[in-house]
Amino acid sequence: MANRVDARQTVTAENQRTPQAIILLGGPGAGKGTQAREICSHLEIPHISTGDILRSNISQQTPLGQKAKEYMNRGDLVPDDLIIDMVRDRIGQADCQGGFLLDGFPRTLGQAKALGGLLQDKRLGSPMVINLRVSTEVLVQRLSGRRICPSCQRTYHVTFQPPLRSGICDTDGAALQQRADDREEAIRERLVAYDEQTAPLIGYYGNEGRLFDVNGEQTPQLLTSELTRLFEVA
């Protein structure tokens, strides 16, 4: 059964000291990236976003980036074997010894099972899983209006969080961009991929009893404080 977050469900001091893997689950546009940055700066652990690693491989035109690009632009998932190798490499790095947060991984049952094996090899226990619950309607609204600064990665929304000058980043003046996969057709594909392949992971991790289900439709600030409470020392 998924846990609804409340003050009684804080992570204990014992847990917080133990290196652990944290997984952020949620549909595309649920706010995983924004909340991951907050949690990682709070807990001082690395933020591992498989989407960011793939995008950086695309911009550097690596063999992995070339293989992943078409899948991503269509809104499809990149094949499991490529993603699992990429995550195995990343969590094998020295900065992950004290724990880490996974944003956008796992996204399929195959990835979740492979992750279980990787965590066992690293002698990390079962991961703490946080599901950001957001309705499909809200996800579509958020994704279609999302704009990103290519220089500092700050995100905006044309209606809900517009920049001071239309199309221009408030922080560094760069022209804002729309992600190729935030266009309508790709959004539809991503939601289908989420429903069919990723949403079943809520049940998978729910059975382990380490799933925390939170309302992802509240403001980013309220959501951050709710998540921060989860990590407070009891």
User: Of 192, 65, 88, whose CA–CA distance to 140 is shortest?
Assistant: 192
The stretch among 39-47, 72-80, 168-176, 225-233 that binds ligand AMP (CB under 6 A) is 72-80
Q: Which amino acid is at 132?
A: L
Q: By CB under 6 A, tell whether 182 contacts ligand AMP.
A: no
Contact flag: residue 47 with ligand AMP (CB under 6 A) = no
Nearest to 115 by CA among 124, 106, 123: 106
Establish if 27 lies at the interface with ligand AMP (CB under 6 A).
Answer: no
Task: Tell me the catalytic residues.
Answer: 32, 107, 146, 179, 190
Phi, psi of 201 (to 5 degrees): -70, -20
**CB-based contact 234:16 (threshold 8 Å):** no
Give the DSSP H/E element, type plus range, for residue 218: none
Which secondary structure element, helix H or strand E, spans residue 206, and what is its range?
helix 200-206
Choose one: 5-13, 77-85, 165-173, 199-207; the region binding ligand AMP (CB under 6 A).
Answer: 77-85
Stretch that binds ligand AMP, among 2-10, 17-25, 49-57, 59-67 (CB under 6 A): 49-57
- Between 3 and 57, name the residue whose CB sits nearer to ligand AMP: 57
Q: Which of 107, 142, 146, 210 binds ligand AMP (CB under 6 A)?
A: 107
| Smallest gap from residue 8 Cβ to ligand AMP (A) | 31
Residue 71 touching ligand AMP (CB under 6 A): yes
Residue 192 CB neighbours (<10 A): 12
- DSSP annotation of 132 reads E
Interface with ligand AMP includes 50 (CB under 6 A)?
A: yes
190 lies in the site for ligand AMP, by CB under 6 A: yes
Among 84, 93, 114, 96, CA closest to 21: 96
Closest C-alpha to 26, from 10, 2, 58: 2
Which residue's CB comes closest to ligand AMP? 51
What are the tokens at 191?
């939601």
Determine the straight-line distance between the first and last CA of the chain, rounded to whole angstroms: 22
Among 2, 40, 47, 105, binds ligand AMP (CB under 6 A): 105
The answer to whether residue 54 forms part of the interface with ligand AMP (CB under 6 A) is: yes
- How far apart CA 143 and CA 183 sit, in angstroms, is 8
Among 11, 36, 40, 78, binds ligand AMP (CB under 6 A): 78
CB of 175 to ligand AMP, least distance (A): 21
Q: Hunting for tokens 């517009």 — which residue is that? A: 162
Q: Is 51 in the site for ligand AMP (CB under 6 A)?
A: yes
Positions touching ligand AMP (CB under 6 A) are 28, 50-51, 54, 71-72, 75-78, 83, 104-105, 107, 111, 181, 190
